[in-house]
Amino acid sequence: MNNFEFRNPTEILFGKGQIEKLADKVHEYGTKVLLVYGGGSIKSFGLYDDVIQRLQGADCQVFELAGVEPNPRLTTVQKGIDLCKQESIDLVLAVGGGSVVDAAKGVAVGAKYDGDVWDFYDRKAVAEAALPLGVILTLAATGSEMNRGSVVTHWEKQEKRGAGTTFPAFSILDPTNTFSVPEDQTVYGMVDMMSHVFEQYFSHTENIPLQSRYAESILKTVIDNAPVVLEQPKNYEARANIMYCGTMALNGQLAQGVETDWASHGIEHAVSAIYDIPHAGGLAIIFPNWMKYVYKENIDRFIRFATEVWGVDPSGQSDEEVALAGIQATREFFNKIGAPVRLADYDIDDQHIEDMAQKATHFGPIGSFKKLEKEDVAEILRMSL
């Protein structure tokens, strides 16, 4: 295990009815609130009205940044920053999925920065100050509710980049707020959290039994609960288990003491930057191909994955067969729950492969399980066509 220092300051308020604490939590930071939300789903199931009533009932002044896009745009983030600066906002409150939370994070750090907020995403500056951020999560997927990552798209440059920004001060995670998530987004969410585990599980670091078992438990919990949430979208316990998995998959704990990879995310962001496809739709396609491309780098890790996570019986099989059976099981699971399989499912052909490979390796080779140069990325993309 490698050395590590770990601190995660986000306060999690998990479960039905936790919104009761919203006004008290907001008052810890002030009364001028910028409410950030997406295309209106929170209005369709009553959460918007509930939040507004609670804030106004607690004498808060509410400003709004509405219409945050899935794959949030820099221009939207900039609008929020301008509002914060004009109105001297005390707290940014994100109500939505990962895109809304990520945009709100960009707003929170941009409001305390004199330069261009894209500097953080372009690795030209590091965020040192931020407005406090509260979150009410409505989609279990990204883990953004308990980490400091933010992913924003610069549409004109066709660049989708992640940056370390700010941790939410508090996050309200009420599984009932995910009951209305449509089937496709529920599937994407589960693929995304599983992919976050993969990025931290496929590692060369040795002697990490706790991190490995933690990762395997998250994967198995998602695998067990997936059919339940898909058949019964209002099953509280299943939605709760999935929501908790999403948060724990990317709140930093799995990465402690471990060399992590993140190449597949880098490749997916390059695909989304050009084609604007759902993040985890891209991951479902790319990850099994990445696995196939890299498994020989540390076949033991893939044997463990196959046997521990997918229950592959190794008897009578070669190491290679066991490793490949685990990869095949991953592919089949994604297929079974209805995730896309090939880039062609999004009408993506080989036209921009070089461009995507270039974008993914813009800052140099990516990944650590196998360092991927531009040509490696292009090959994985070709395998994904």
CB of 254 to Zn ion, least distance (A): 13
Partner that binds at residue 185, options Zn ion, ligand NZQ, none, CB closer than 5 to 8 Å by kind: ligand NZQ
> Following DSSP, what letter does each residue of 197-247 receive, concatenated?
HHHHHS------HHHHHHHHHHHHHHHHHHHHHHH-TT-HHHHHHHHHHHH
Provide the binding-site residues for ligand NZQ, judged by CB under 6 A.
38-41, 70-71, 96-100, 102, 138-139, 141-144, 147, 149-151, 177-178, 180-181, 185, 188-189, 192, 250, 265, 279
For residue 13, is it left (φ>0), alpha (ψ between -120 and 50) or beta?
A: beta
CA atoms within 13 A of residue 334's CA, in its CB half-sphere: 26
The smaller minimum CB distance to ligand NZQ, of residues 277 and 323, is found at: 277
CB of 196 to Zn ion, least distance (A): 6
Partner that binds at residue 180, options ligand NZQ, Zn ion, none, CB closer than 5 to 8 Å by kind: ligand NZQ
CA–CA separation, 231 and 59 (whole Å): 42
The smaller minimum CB distance to Zn ion, of residues 51 and 194, is found at: 194
CB of 356 to ligand NZQ, least distance (A): 15
Query: Residue 28 carries which DSSP code?
Result: T
The smaller minimum CB distance to ligand NZQ, of residues 80 and 98, is found at: 98
The smaller minimum CB distance to ligand NZQ, of residues 60 and 139, is found at: 139
Helix (H) or strand (E) run with residue 326 in it: helix 319-337
The smaller minimum CB distance to Zn ion, of residues 144 and 211, is found at: 144
CB of 272 to ligand NZQ, least distance (A): 6
Strand order in the sheet with 91-96: 11-14, 170-173, 133-137, 91-96, 32-37, 61-65
Evaluate the CA torsion angle 307, 201, 264, 368 in order and state its sign.
negative
Let me know: does 226 contact 183? Beta carbons within 8 Å.
Answer: no
Provide the binding-site residues for Zn ion, judged by CB under 5 A.
192
CB of 284 to ligand NZQ, least distance (A): 12
What end-to-end distance do the CA atoms of the chain give, in Å?
37
The smaller minimum CB distance to ligand NZQ, of residues 188 and 214, is found at: 188
Shortest-Cβ-distance residue relative to Zn ion = 192
